[in-house]
Amino acid sequence: MSVNKRGNSYEVRWRVGNKQYSKCGFPTKRSAQAFEAEQLQRIKSHTFTAPREAKITMNHLAQEWFVTKDVSDRTMHGYREVWKNLIAPTWAGVKLENVKPDGVAKWVTTLNREYSAARVRKAFTVFKQILDLAVMGERLMSNPADRAKQIVGKGLLPRIVKVDKATRLTNDQVLDLAEAAGQYRVMLLVMAYTGVRFGEASALQAGDVDLVTSRLHVRRAYSDVGGKLQVVTPKSGKPRTIPIPAYLHAPLMEVLYSCESSDSLLFTAQKGGPLHYPRWRTFFDKAADAAGLQGLKPHDLRRTYATLTIQAGVGPKALQTAMGHSDIRLTMDTYAGVFELDKDDHAARLSAAAEKASEDKCSQNVRTSTENKQKPWSRLGDLNPGPTHYECVALPLS
């Protein structure tokens, strides 16, 4: 930093990162040096804001941030919804230079009184990422959201308490639910015995079913973006193939028989066309209540598939592929409890196999011993009971 005389006034110059700043018009050298000290202190405390760039509002910065995000339409819709309803009412008109850690902390405290922990944390994440853009552009030296978290500590954001309310059905319960679902009977069976998500199941076409090789090809999914359906890739980002249990062949044949072409949707709304989740969920809830499964969620059918698959002895890697998880750790973490319970069954099956092998071995030894006792004996171990050339033979005298 430096203080230089410019005509009848003084100018202060300083550099932050790769950018150089200056301010002139100080009537005395002392006033220029005071400003210089102030800027130096702000740089050291990471509270410096670029004089011009920091004049923009948070709304302006947010619109820049939206442009940088390379995400699906549904994810972008979620970002904009959070900005509009949770962030913008407080911050839209605030200049970047006026965003301070204490203000961030007060805002989060206000949200905690009105929204769930998950929603508050999502709003904070979006807000923080918007401010990260300002740090990257050297408009801010540090992120006020990060500093608020450092000052307040872990108590700033509410904790999400995970309660495992997931329901995993038995085979009998799956059949009861399917029978109560009426026209969506086959769809629920497919979801329970292949693990496809609702968006994937609703986008299945006749050409995706191969009963010759017993394979279901998950190539696309429907995504609801603001009430409008869009065809997207499956959640994993790529197609996958799932084995079809033989039990589903007959039900699927019924559906395929009614399809006009390979592009026909397997499951449609009552009046034709793609299924919309809100209306379909009404039918699902009624079927669950009729089957005595109140509170059941569609995603529970996916968990049911994973559980039944594990109980059938399928390994984690095969399950990961069928579920469409990008990382096997996700599969193991999500269904760790089921794998843990199945360890006893694995041990029991291993013990039974070992005991059977031991019994077979004992039976074989007994049979071998019995057979040896029944065989004729000779001194040289020859199986031929007749004399050998080493033995003496009494010949009749002539």
**How far is it, in rounded angstroms, from Cα 45 to Cα 147?**
11
* pLDDT on residue 398: 47
pLDDT along the chain (398 residues), means of 10: 75 68 73 74 61 78 93 90 95 91 94 93 95 85 89 87 71 94 94 93 95 94 89 87 93 93 93 92 94 92 88 80 78 66 58 70 67 54 50 52
CB 139 within 8 A of CB 50: yes
* Per-residue pLDDT at 374: 56
pLDDT at 52: 64
Q: Which domains are seen in the chain, by residue range?
A: 2-45 (no CATH), 56-152 (1.10.150.130), 171-312 (1.10.443.10)
| Tokens of residue 132, six digits | 């990260």
User: Phi, psi at residue 221, to the nearest 5°?
Assistant: -150, 155
Tell me, what's the pLDDT at 390? 47
Give the pLDDT confidence score for residue 297 in this predicted structure: 93
Burial of 189 per CB tally in 10 Å (0-12, 13-18, 19+): buried
At 72 the pLDDT is 85
Q: Which helix (H) or strand (E) holds 234?
A: none
Residue 336 confidence (pLDDT) = 63
pLDDT given at position 107: 96
| Spatial contact of 240 and 324, defined as CB atoms under 8 Å apart | yes
Give the chain's largest Cα–Cα span.
Answer: 159
Residue 187: name the closest of 292, 264, 301, 321 by CA. 301
Mean pLDDT value across the chain: 82
Phi (first) and psi of residue 321, to 5 degrees: -65, -45
Provide the pLDDT for residue 345: 60
223 strand-pairing partners: 230
**Structure tokens of 89?**
């009412």
> What's residue 186's pLDDT?
95
Tokens 């999914």, located at residue: 221
Of the chain, the end-to-end C-alpha distance in Å amounts to 140
Q: CA Rg, the chain, in Å?
A: 37
Measured from the Cβ of residue 86, the count of other Cβ atoms closer than 10 Å reads: 21
